Amino acid sequence: MRIALTYNEKRSSSEAEAEFDSPETIHAIARMLASLGHVVTPVEVGTPVEALVAQLRRLAPDLVFNMAEGHAGTFREAFYPALFEHLGLPHTGSPASVLALCLDKAMAKKIVAAARVHTPRAQLVRRLDELRPVTATVIVKPNFEGSSKGITQASVVDEPARLADVVADVLARYPSGVLVEELVDGMDVSVGFVDGLGMLAPIGYSYITDGPHQIYDLALKQGPPERIDVQVPARLDDVTTSRVLAAAKRAFEALGVVGYGRADFRVTPDGSVQFLEMNPLPSLAPRERDLYAAAAPLGKTPRDVLAYIVAAANDHVGSGLSWCAERVADKKR
């Protein structure tokens, strides 16, 4: 197939680009896709939309392998998939509507809670005068961000008198909304899903923080990968493992995630499983290791994982191939 590999290139270490992909990652993904027999054209989406559309029309790809995170707004992850869908171009991963839903942490939590999955108590704050008092220790984080953007040791508030100041600070940087969520003590655990492979073994994360609070913050995610011990399978007993997998299955189904994705949880010392958020566009960078490490016990390489993601997209294209077929016919004429 002709594949357009869409991405945002990471050019700095700024928080704004925390989710973007490095040139090394882009080249690695392109090489693996090419090794599967595809003709791959990397396409950075940072160009004006008109130029991007013109480029896609020239390429007439059979598939868009999408890694683009978008630049701004509460619809940023969904913007480019929505554009591809408008053009009739099939793309990897979930549809734009799912990406938009999952980026809204508060809404995703409500839907997952309705599917009988526990999630920490939280309040969405768009203006400081909406903030309600709390008595428990909470973590304050942007509602419409991923990759731990906006999350530092200072995000944990265990003194109610500090809460308003912390919320005001985060709102100043992320005015779309702040989630004030009860901090759950326990282990960070994720569950990956790849269509064709199914639910993967739970992934556990062990790390040493630079501060007093055991949270998987931005500094850890942007630091050397050696600081994080990725454990597959997570060190859980059989009963808790079953609970995590059941919760993940409900979360994926409730939110409509297809193709691939990753659900993030906290597992308490007594085995309670608490849903934190869903990432329907998890990083495929080799250094991230999450999905690749979880697929390894099945005998699958990173290249295999990409092959399954491509195959899943083909299964979901439906009438989307018509635009490509027409473009190919036009070129032949």
Amino acid at 28: A
Q: Which of 76, 60, 75, 65 lies closest to 18 in space, CA to CA?
A: 76
| pLDDT of res. 332 | 38
CATH tag, 122-182: 3.30.1490
Q: Kindly report the CATH number that applies to the domain delimited by 101-118+185-310.
A: 3.30.470.20
- Is the bond leading into 233 cis (omega within 30 degrees of zero)? yes
Q: Residue ranges per domain, the chain?
A: 2-93+317-332, 101-118+185-310, 122-182
pLDDT tens digit sequence for 3-53: 999 999 988 887 777 788 999 999 999 999 999 999 999 999 988 999 999
- The residue written with tokens 């390894």 in the block is 296
Confidence at residue 77, expressed as pLDDT on a 0 to 100 scale = 95
**Ramachandran quadrant class, 92 (left: phi over 0; alpha: psi -120 to 50; beta: rest):** beta
Tens-digit pLDDT string for the chain (333 aa): 999 999 999 888 877 777 889 999 999 999 999 999 999 999 999 889 999 999 999 999 999 999 999 988 899 999 999 999 999 999 999 999 999 999 999 999 999 999 999 999 999 999 999 999 999 999 999 999 887 788 989 999 999 999 999 999 999 999 999 999 999 999 999 999 999 999 999 999 998 888 888 888 777 777 777 788 899 999 999 999 999 999 999 999 999 999 999 999 999 999 999 999 999 999 999 877 789 999 999 999 999 999 999 999 987 654 333 333 343 344 434
SS (H, E, C) 96-146: HHHHHHHHCHHHHHHHHHHCCCCCCCEEEECCHHHCCCCCCCEEEEECCCC
Task: Give rounded-to-5 percent helix, strand, coil for the chain.
Answer: 40, 20, 35
Q: How many C-beta atoms lie closer than 10 Å to residue 180's C-beta? A: 23
DSSP class of residue 47 equals S
Which of these, 314, 268, 262, lies nearest to 293 by C-alpha position? 262
pLDDT of residue 328: 36
Give me the CATH topology for the region 2-93+317-332: Rossmann fold (3.40.50)
- The model scores a pTM over 0.85: yes
d(CA 181, CA 259): 29
Please state at what angle helix 76-87 crosses helix 49-59, rounded to 10 degrees.
40
**Helix (H) and strand (E) counts in the chain:** 11, 13
What is the structure's pLDDT at 317?
54
CA distances from 221 to 18, 26, 210, 287 (A): 9, 19, 12, 10
Task: State the Cα–Cα distance between residues 164 and 71, nearest whole angstrom.
Answer: 28
Tokens of 36: 């599967």
pLDDT of residue 269: 94
Tally of CB atoms within 10 A around 209: 14
